[in-house]
Amino acid sequence: MPALLKLINTTPQLPEDADAVVIGGGIVGVFAAYYLARRGLKVALVEKGRIGAEQSSRNWGWCRQQNRDARELPMATKSLDLWERFAAESGEDTGFRRGGLLYLSNSEEELAGWARWRDFARTVGVTTHMLDSAQATERGRATGKPWKGGVFSPTDGTADPASAAPVVARAILKLGGTVHQSCAARGIETESGRLSGVVTEHGTIRTKTAVLAGGAWASSFCRQLGIRFPQASVRSSILAVSPGAVGLPDALHTAAVSVTRRADGGYTLAISGRGRVDPTPQQLRFSPQFLPMFVKRWRSLAPGGLEGFRSGHETLARWRLDAPTPMERMRILDPAVDKATIRLTHSRALAVLPPLKNTSIAAAWAGYIDSTPDGVPGIGEIAAVPGLILAAGFSGHGFGIGPGAGHLVADIVTGNEPIVDPRPYHPDRFRKSAWGQVADF
Ligand SMILES: Cc1cc2nc3c(=O)[nH]c(=O)nc-3n(C[C@H](O)[C@H](O)[C@H](O)COP(=O)(O)OP(=O)(O)OC[C@H]3O[C@@H](n4cnc5c(N)ncnc54)[C@H](O)[C@@H]3O)c2cc1C
């Protein structure tokens, strides 16, 4: 069974024109469209499959500041407030709760790393508590084991991946925006070098502004326009178990396994940093730029198979605007689950958290994490095409910072004071090497 997803009805009729068109209905695209609509812009969001059906419903649901790279931390902090404000403003429930995140460890090295991050976080006003052995063992009592130490980040939380993007899309509709599912954007039109329209499979929308929030498809889309956006996909496989386990923390990370309480009372189980790299021509093309990332993170990556070719999201082929594209052939990127990882995750979870023995496997799925060479997203206007704003490459951290990223996109489009300093995210940096720039976590 694939990842659970709330299905919503959207707008059948495509508008002829819009102030802004958002391409991609993941968490980043829906929040960008939401904040644009709140500012009174006429917004159309086009999604080739279903709202939230790719990475944004396939993740753990963690909305964390804990262990964030310094470049992403301000956006993470703002996003936690925005998750809360969204519920109050829209009356929609994303499942967001500030329940805190718990990290437990028996490794002195890991604990020292967390303590260093705590010291840095203090300097920017973020609260996180290191736990000594007694405190960690008490907080981790559901494991029935002693722990050397841990961290508890009380202001962090989780939201519900199955419903978050769909309910934000519903909020866009309430504000008068339009949302179009099964509607791939095939490309753009320009006039005098500036964006003048978005060409979709159902017709062209005239607009001066488009936001490319296409997740793992963004690099292929950019390639059609002659824009080099280095992106690589890592396949991550996780599972959900039924309700039935009692006394577990809402969100727990250990080196062996991580667990997160789901909205239905079940749990998502995963092993952190265990991804498969499925080689594709796009990956080979960008491999020199990803070398610093592979050197730093090789322990958490393993070679995959031919899955990337089947999926078609990293195609090098040029496509026409008047014929079906790979995006219409693959409405929802649903890569094959790595069964060995699922078995290992489940057995580790039962060993670490015995109450999970009262549950059964409800679903297992994989998702392609779209990474950039430095592990920080690309957000900003593309210099070669004025009017085209990139918001992709969230590198496995984008769900929690979706609201902040969407807000920043709206700030860029409307010329408002940016919610955070946009410079660390600007896509121009991809022209330079990522040596020494790869995010720590
Ligand atoms: C297993 C796993 C666990 C994760 N855990 C976490 C976590 O706990 N916390 C966290 O913060 N992040 C997590 N992430 C990362 C997070 O899910 C992503 O960073 C985030 O969802 C990215 O959102 P997005 O909107 O950029 O992309 P997506 O959700 O992938 O959405 C992109 C959308 O664009 C659409 N699209 C693409 N091209 C076109 C086109 N041309 N026309 C129309 N539509 C198009 C796609 O169909 C897709 O729906 C995890 C990811 C995975 C896979």
User: pLDDT (tens digit, 9 = 90+) per residue, 421-438?
Assistant: 999 999 999 999 899 899
Q: Say if CB 155 and CB 89 are below 8 A apart.
A: no
Q: Which residue has the higher pLDDT, 399 or 293?
A: 399
CB of 213 closer than 6 angstroms to any ligand 1 atom: yes
C-beta 221 within 6 A of ligand 1: yes
Alpha helices in 124-163 (DSSP H): 133-139
Question: In angstroms, how far apart are the furthest CA atoms of the chain?
Answer: 67
- Six-digit token pair at 47? 């999604």
In eight-state DSSP terms, residue 332 is S
pLDDT at 441 exceeding the cut of 90: no
CB of 114 within 8 A of CB of 103?
Answer: yes
* Sign of the dihedral defined by the CA atoms of residues 114, 119, 125, 127, in that order: positive
Residue 28 CA: nearest ligand 1 atom is: 25
Residue with tokens 């303590």: 115
Query: Cβ atoms within 10 A of the Cβ of 33, count?
Result: 33
Pairing of strands 101-105, 149-153: antiparallel
Burial class (CB in 10 A: 0-12, 13-18, 19+), 313: buried
- Only one residue has tokens 């918001």, namely 391
| Residue 298: pLDDT band with limits 50, 70, 90 | confident
Which single residue is written with the structure tokens 């599972």?
239
What sign for the dihedral angle of Cα 34, 35, 36, 38? positive
Please report the atom of ligand 1 found closest to the CA of residue 396: 15
- Which amino acid belongs to residue 39? R
> Does the CB atom of residue 30 touch ligand 1 within 6 A?
no
- Reported as a pLDDT band with limits 50, 70 and 90, residue 300 is confident
The answer, yes or no, to whether residue 269 has pLDDT greater than 90, is: yes
In this predicted structure, the answer to whether residue 440 has a pLDDT above a threshold of 90 is: no
Which pair of structure tokens corresponds to residue 399?
């769900």
Q: Where are the beta strands (DSSP E) in 72-216?
A: 101-105, 129-131, 149-153, 157-158, 178-180, 185-191, 194-200, 203-206, 210-212
Q: Which amino acid is at 63?
A: C
Closest Cα to atom 51 of ligand 1:
59
Residue 184 CB less than 6 A away from ligand 1: yes
Q: Calculate how far, in angstroms, residue 267's C-alpha sits from the geometric centre of ligand 1.
A: 20
Confidence of residue 3 (pLDDT cuts 50, 70, 90): confident
> Ligand 1: distance of its center to the CA of 139 in Å?
32
pLDDT at 274 over 80: yes
Q: How far is the CA of 27 from the centre of ligand 1 (A)?
A: 7
> DSSP string of 244-272?
---S--SEEE-SS-EEEE-TTS-EEEE-T
> Which ligand 1 atom minimizes the distance to the CA of 60?
8
- Per-residue model confidence as pLDDT tens digits over 319-350: 999 999 999 999 999 999 999 999 999 999 99
- Decide the pairing of beta strands 149-153 and 210-212: unpaired
Average pLDDT of the segment spanning 123-150: 96
Closest-CA residue to 64 (of 99, 111, 105):
99
Decide whether any atom of ligand 1 lies within 6 Å of the 377 Cβ: no
Other CB atoms within 10 A of residue 189 CB? 14
Q: Residue 278 above 80 pLDDT? A: yes
CA of 408 to the centre of ligand 1 (A): 17
Query: Which residue do the tokens 């504000």 mark?
Result: 175
Q: CB under 8 Å to 154, separation ≥6 — which residues? A: 98, 100, 127, 128, 129
Confidence of residue 301 (pLDDT cuts 50, 70, 90): confident
Choosing from 54, 68, 315, 321 the residue with most ligand 1 atoms within 8 A of its CB, the one to mutate for a pocket test is: 54
Q: How close is the Cα of 248 to the center of ligand 1, in Å?
A: 27
Query: Would the CB of 59 count as within 6 Å of ligand 1?
Result: yes
**For 130-185, where are the alpha helices, taking DSSP H only?**
133-139, 164-174
Q: How far is the CA of 114 from the centre of ligand 1 (A)?
A: 27
Task: Find out whether 283 and 188 touch, Cβ atoms under 8 Å.
Answer: no
Q: Is 60 in the pocket of ligand 1 (CB under 6 A)?
A: yes
Distance CA 275, CA 261 (A): 22
**Is residue 1 over pLDDT 80?**
no
| Gap from CA of 400 to ligand 1 centroid (Å) | 11
Residue at token pair 């709330």: 6
